[in-house]
Amino acid sequence: MKPTHLFEAEQLVAGYDNKTVIQEVSLTIPSNKISVIIGANASGKSTLLKTLARLIKPTSGKINLDGKSITKMPPKQLARVLGLLPQSPIVPEGISVADLVGRGRFPHQSMLSGWTKKDYEAVAEAMRIMDITKLANQNIDELSGGQRQRVWIAMALAQQTDILFLDEPTTFLDITYQVEILDMLTDLNRKKGTTIVMVLHDINLSARYADNIFAIHNGKLVAEGEPSKVITSSLVKDVFGLDCIVVEDPISGSPSVVPIGRHHVNNAYTP
Amino acid sequence: MKNSSTVSKMHEVNPHIPKNFMVVLVIGFVLLIASVFLSLSLGSRMVGLQEVMDGLFRQDIDTYEANVVRKRISRTVFSLFCGAALGVSGALMQAVTRNPIADPSILGVNMGASLFVVCGMAFLNISSANQYIWLALAGAAITAVFVFGIGSLGRSGATPIKLVLAGAATTAALSSLVVAIMIPRSHVMDQFRFWQVGSVGSATWDGITTFIPFLLIGIVIAILSAPALNALALGDAIATGLGVRIGILRLVAALGAVLLCGAATALAGPIGFVGLLSTHVMRLVLGPDLRFVIPMSAISGAVILTISDVSGRLIGSPGELEVGVVTAFIGAPLLIILAMRSKVSSL
């Protein structure tokens, strides 16, 4: 099991150039759990994730890992604890699956040491977890979208971090692959205790797979906690501006949002 | 049990080493030796294998042919070194800008070095390699910083497309400056014309000795930064997540590229396209892993430049065609093919 970490943000303000996107967000990531950041488009959810994962330097506020500021930690040392899969990574032309997954070992290698047994084992394990061992020698260009995403996650797994940030890992995937990826991430969390923090677009999948929800609206943290407590019709109205009812998902028992639009609405729910 | 068998299988056929690496390495060395032999034996005076051997190893033999071979040694050594420098410099620039068509000549670094050398010739009466090299390095470095600075303006930082545009614009501006300085000075024109085309024929042992430290430092920088550049190839975000200090990495790798290309340009003149050719051949056969592509680009660069020099001697016989003309002839079509093939999204 992965060790417990205290990862907290305090009065975080961040953005791009002169535009402030994240406004005074304070939060603590529950260790060894799955947290999902939800919010409407342009709410700042992705910016928050990027700031927590040190891609964006905060304008003010603190991000501490086990009491130490992450900006003051040596980047390689931090990269052995904190992994990140951004939204649109670049695929070098002609790269093989094994080469790409292997690049996740960078923070564990020194400038002069070559590949050690540990590196090979970590890569083999990551590929096994994501079920891509058979694809090792294939080119990424030849893979389907779902397989590709599994390769990227395997790269992040090869990094063997205790905490893993993922920015919309299921976007552009068919529903089948979305569920597959989320199941695999849940396996990872349950078996290894990896703390997972991700941005997801789909509120129902978020409610089902998250242990903890952070709801972002206009750059502010408006709600956090277990999905069953956080996902309510009033929160969905506040955060997404959507009228809805929340029912119990018959499969998982988690809350499930059923939107109320302008058409196809029974009289009982007409606002 | 299942676990350990997968691991041991991974060791047997290591997917982290390009599958034809050994073959490429062997072929590379064979070609290297062949190009050395050709460079020593071919030219306006053709010399056979026996005479090449005599010229190289038998100091007591003093035939005309043996002396021709001896005269060609410095030229051959220099074209090998210069080609290696240009190859590695191209690989570094492509990695730093994440742009497959980056090359010292495309980013304007060559032209910056040229401008400084021309100024040295025109205003300081400089005419020796040892003095060129510092001017060329300064010019290359300043141009690199300038192009990088212009390319980084705006919100998204130094994107590959902005770097190439900045390089192209800078090249245009600098080359007109070069012409403006040269035209009214006929004495500089003569001296510069030969240098500007790019030639390895005038190499001296003095020049080569001056060149070696730059070559070594540049190649060491390139090899040490290869793993981090591999991470950078996956995007700035992934690289940051993997613990790469991307700003410092780009700076150091660009410095290595400038050292290599500036020093080569100082001695041989601006030779274009070798960086482009040598790296693309290697990527084609080895894949994109820079830990292999960078060192192998040194070998392919050396072979390409040496063979180009030999071809120039044969085509231009009884005189010779400068090597810069030959590489441009091979390189320009390749650049067009690459530009057409390269995905716009990757820019």
Residue B134 lies in a domain: yes
Residue B225 lies in a domain: yes
Note whether B234 contacts A53, CB cutoff 8 Å: no
SS (H, E, C) A13-77: EEEECCEEEEEEEEEEECCCCEEEEEECCCCCHHHHHHHHCCCCCCCEEEEEECCEEHHHCCHHH
A106, A115, A128: residue with CB nearest B16: A115
Model pLDDT, residue B158: 66
CB of B72 less than 8 A from some CB of A = no
* Nearest residue in chain A measured CA to CA from B242: A79
Model pLDDT, residue B2: 42
**Total structural domains within chain B:** 1
Note whether A84 contacts B244, CB cutoff 8 Å: no
Query: Cα separations (Å) of B213 from B10, B75, B216, B221, B260?
Result: 39, 18, 5, 12, 10
Residues 244-303 of B with CB under 8 A from A: 244-245, 283, 287-289
A16, A17, A79: residue with CB nearest B243: A79
Question: Reduced to 3 states, what is the DSSP secondary structure of residue B317?
Answer: coil
Residues 152-191 of A with CB under 8 A from B: 155-156, 159, 165
Residue B71 lies in a domain: yes
CB of A123 less than 8 A from some CB of B = yes
Are residues B200 and B78 in contact, defined by beta-carbon separation less than 8 angstroms?
Answer: yes
Residue B346 lies in a domain: no
CB of B344 less than 8 A from some CB of A = no
DSSP code at position B136: H
Interface size between A and B, measured as CB pairs under 8 A: 115
Residues of A in contact with B247 (CB under 8 A): none
Are residues B299 and B91 in contact, defined by beta-carbon separation less than 8 angstroms?
Answer: no
- Tokens 């005074």, located at residue: A24
Per-residue pLDDT of chain B (347 residues; tens, 9 = 90+): 344 444 444 444 566 788 788 999 999 999 999 999 998 888 777 877 777 887 788 777 777 877 788 888 888 999 999 999 999 999 998 998 887 777 877 778 888 988 898 888 888 877 776 777 888 888 988 998 888 888 878 766 666 677 778 888 998 999 899 888 888 877 777 777 767 667 777 777 888 888 899 999 999 999 999 999 999 999 999 999 999 998 899 889 988 998 998 888 888 888 888 888 899 889 888 889 999 999 999 999 999 999 999 998 888 877 788 888 888 888 878 777 766 765 433 43
Which CATH number fits the domain that encloses residue B199?
1.10.3470.10
Residue B31 lies in a domain: yes
Note whether B11 contacts A79, CB cutoff 8 Å: no
* d(CA B127, nearest CA chain A) in Å: 41
Predicted ipTM > 0.95: no
- d(Cα A216, Cα A45) in Å, to the nearest integer? 6
**Average predicted confidence (pLDDT) for chain A:** 92
Model pLDDT, residue A191: 92
* d(CA B87, nearest CA chain A) in Å: 19
Model pLDDT, residue B45: 76
| Residue type at B308 in one-letter notation | S
- Alpha carbon of residue B219 to chain centroid: 11
CB of A120 less than 8 A from some CB of B = yes
Tell which residue, A100, A135, A103, has the closest CA to residue A119: A103
Tell which residue, B92, B94, B326, B288, has the closest CA to residue B201: B326
* d(CA A117, nearest CA chain B) in Å: 9
Residue B347 lies in a domain: no
Q: What does the radius of gyration of chain B's CA atoms come to, in whole angstroms?
A: 21
Q: Report angle CA B23, B29, B33 to the nearest 5 degrees.
A: 145
With a CB cutoff of 8 Å and minimum separation 6, the contacts of B178 are: B111, B114, B115, B118
Note whether A136 contacts B288, CB cutoff 8 Å: no
CB of A106 less than 8 A from some CB of B = yes
A79, A89, A99: residue with CB nearest B16: A99
Q: What number of CA atoms fall less than 13 Å from residue B78's CA on the CB side?
A: 30
- d(Cα B266, Cα B248) in Å, to the nearest integer? 26
What range does the domain containing B262 cover? 4-341
Residues 210-269 of A with CB under 8 A from B: none
Residues 185-204 of A with CB under 8 A from B: none
> Mind listing the pLDDT tens digit for each residue in A179-218?
999 999 999 999 999 999 999 999 999 999 999 999 999 9
- d(Cα B15, Cα B174) in Å, to the nearest integer? 46
Confidence category of residue A172, pLDDT binned at 50, 70, 90: confident
Note whether B15 contacts A125, CB cutoff 8 Å: no
Report phi then psi at B320, rounded to 5.
Answer: -155, 155
DSSP code at position B244: -
State pTM to two decimals: 0.88
* d(CA A262, nearest CA chain B) in Å: 39
Residues of B in contact with A99 (CB under 8 A): 15-16, 287-289
- Tokens 């390769």, located at residue: A151
Query: Which of B238, B282, B285 is the best mutation test for A, with the most CBs of A within 10 A?
Result: B238
Note whether B287 contacts A95, CB cutoff 8 Å: yes
Structure tokens at B215: 């070559």
- Alpha carbon of residue A150 to chain centroid: 14
Pairing state between β A212-217 and A195-199:
unpaired
For the residues of chain A, what is the DSSP string, one character each? Answer: -PPP--EEEEEEEEEETTEEEEEEEEEEEPTTSEEEEEE-TTSSHHHHHHHHTTSS--SEEEEEETTEEGGGS-HHHHHTTEEEE-SS----TT-BHHHHHHGGGGGGS-SS----HHHHHHHHHHHHHTT-GGGTTSBGGGS-HHHHHHHHHHHHHHTT-SEEEEESTTTTS-HHHHHHHHHHHHHHHHHH--EEEEE-S-HHHHHHH-SEEEEEETTEEEEEE-HHHH--HHHHHHHH---EEEEE-TTT-SEEEEE--SSS--GGG--
Tell which residue, A207, A208, A145, A206, has the closest CA to residue A172: A145
Are residues A101 and A152 in contact, defined by beta-carbon separation less than 8 angstroms?
Answer: no
For chain B, give the longest Cα–Cα distance: 80
Query: Which of A120, A140, A164 is the best mutation test for B, with the most CBs of B within 10 A?
Result: A120
Note whether B100 contacts A106, CB cutoff 8 Å: no
